Amino acid sequence: MTPRGTLWLHVGTHKTGTTSIQEAIAQRRDALAAAGVAVWPQGNAQDLANHFIRPSLWTIPRLLGISAPIDHEVFDELAVRMDEARGPHPDLLISSQEFCMMRDALEAYVLKSTLRQVFDRVVPIVAFRDVDDWRASRADELNRIGMWERQDSLPDALSSDGNWYYDPPAVRRFWAQIGPVVEIDYDAAWAAEGSILPAFARALGREGLFDGLDLRLNRRGEEVGA
């Protein structure tokens, strides 16, 4: 396999409109393909992300039995799957907020080793919001899906809602190891444009890609996206 093209890797964070972004990507799949960007088959690539996340962390997909813990034997297979998903296109777009759970050196090494088999370049795209709002919104989500008590009962380092997670500098440091990070200010995007979608389109270098879509799953005061 010869590395080629760019992986556009949307890594979250949680509660920054990721569900709206994933729905918008699905609706613009053909337009992206015409521009040379294939889209990962699953809108939320949480299964893929959880192969790379350290085994000790109890993410929500793992608690639900959706994703298996890290398995070093599957990484070559994952590289092949990414190459197949890209097909004849030069680039691939993958989105999952689960990627933002990654922090340690082994995760970075395994992820880089896998991706460099497939791509010349990786561009992580990450959205940040006010940390207090981020924490409160995620707590609301965990309560809604019945996972708050299970996460709260875990030691901080093992919980996907631990204090360690709400650390934008740590997120930046991790993803800077993977590629040139493109940041989106979620709060500023909402204040200026009433949606994160235009800012995400610009992060992809595709101004206007989502024009005409209104995928706000709820209104701003009630929370938007996942």
At 121-137, the pLDDT tens digits run: 999 999 999 999 999 99
Decide: 175 and 181 in contact? Cβ < 8 Å: yes
Q: 125 lies in which domain range?
A: 6-203
Look at residue 69 in the predicted model and tell me its pLDDT: 65
Residue 213 domain-assigned? no
Phi, psi of 214 (to 5 degrees): -130, 95
Tell me if 179 is assigned to some domain.
Answer: yes
CATH of the domain at 171: 3.40.50.300
Residue 222 in any domain: the answer is no
The predicted pLDDT at position 179 comes to 98
Whether the bond into 13 is cis, omega within 30 of 0: yes
Number of domains into which the chain is organized: 1
Instruction: Assess if residue 221 is contained within a domain.
Output: no
* pLDDT (tens digit per residue) in 89-115: 999 999 999 999 999 999 999 999 999
Confidence of residue 215 (pLDDT cuts 50, 70, 90): low
pLDDT tens digits along 40-97: 999 999 999 999 999 999 999 999 887 766 667 789 999 999 999 999 999 999 999 9
Does 74 reside within a domain? yes
In a domain, 61, yes or no: yes
Position 76 in a domain: yes
- Two tokens at 185? 């200010």
Give the distance, in angstroms, between the CA of residue 74 and the centroid of all CA atoms in the same chain.
Answer: 20
Query: Within a domain: residue 220?
Result: no
How buried is residue 94: exposed, middle or buried, by Cβ count under 10 Å (0-12/13-18/19+)?
buried
> Strand 37-39's sheet: what is its strand order?
37-39, 91-95, 6-10, 121-128, 182-185
Per the listing, tokens 């991706």 go with: 115
**pLDDT value of residue 216:** 55
